[in-house]
Amino acid sequence: MTRTRAERGHRRCRVRVGLAALAAAGGLAAWSAPADARPQITAGLTTGLALTDARAENGPRAAYHLGGRLDLLFLREGPRSMAIGPYVEMMTAAFDTFEGGGGIAWLIPTGATAFVLSGGAFTRTSRFGWEPGASATLFWGSRSYNFHSDYAVGVGLFAQGRYGLGDGKQADAVFGVQLDLEYLALPFVFAYEAIAH
């Protein structure tokens, strides 16, 4: 009985310490965030080469990669500021798989360009069914800061590693380019303006 009460006491103490640490971290983030920092959204199409099934007996094999990615970065107050926030992505390898996931992205400016380091989890469906996995991505290119809107244009190169935790023994390396959806929409905008006027 005494041991049970002691265990409960320790458990309550750990919960209180955890909540206090969480509140302190939240307060510190709110206090340290610049007053003029705004979230910046970027959405792009990814396309390139995937080297898939590196752990399989018949791998690796080359496949066409096609995907989409959206991230929402916080704490950025200008083009020279770092930022961090969540991302979501969807992709396919040669249209044999469908993969969706998300995680955390960290933008590090380097003058006219920037690096974005990302890590997260995903799930994919293939002939093995649904399988979980983990991914890491390195992006390098232009990530503008928009002083007049929450949408920031981004275009550049990326390299990604994907590791499956299921029976499919997925181990993929993806290399390609990320094109901002705004650029892809421009021909349709110009065509609409030409027809409307």
Report d(CA 67, CA 47) in Å as an integer. 6
Between 10 and 84, where is the model more confident?
84
Chain segment 161-194, per-residue pLDDT in tens: 999 998 888 899 999 999 999 888 888 877 877 8
Chain segment 103-116, per-residue pLDDT in tens: 999 999 998 899 99
User: What's the pLDDT score for residue 25?
Assistant: 42
Could you tell me how far CA 194 lies from the centroid of its own chain?
A: 36
Chain segment 10-60, per-residue pLDDT in tens: 445 444 444 444 444 444 344 444 445 689 999 999 999 999 988 888 878
pLDDT at 3 over 60: no
- The CATH number that domain 40-190 falls under is 2.40.160
What pairs with residue 69 in β-bridges?
A: 44, 89
User: What's the pLDDT score for residue 140?
Assistant: 98
CB within 8 Å of 91: residues ≥ 6 apart: 46, 65, 66, 67, 68, 98, 99, 100, 174
Domain ranges of the chain: 1-32, 40-190
Q: Which long-range contacts (CB under 8 A, 24 or more apart) does 82-90 make?
A: 82/106, 82/107, 82/108, 82/109, 83/40, 83/107, 85/39, 87/118, 87/120, 89/46, 89/122
Lowest mean pLDDT among 3-7, 146-150, 156-160: 3-7
pTM: 0.75
- Ramachandran quadrant class, 42 (left: phi over 0; alpha: psi -120 to 50; beta: rest): beta
Lowest mean pLDDT among 27-41, 51-65, 78-92, 135-149: 27-41
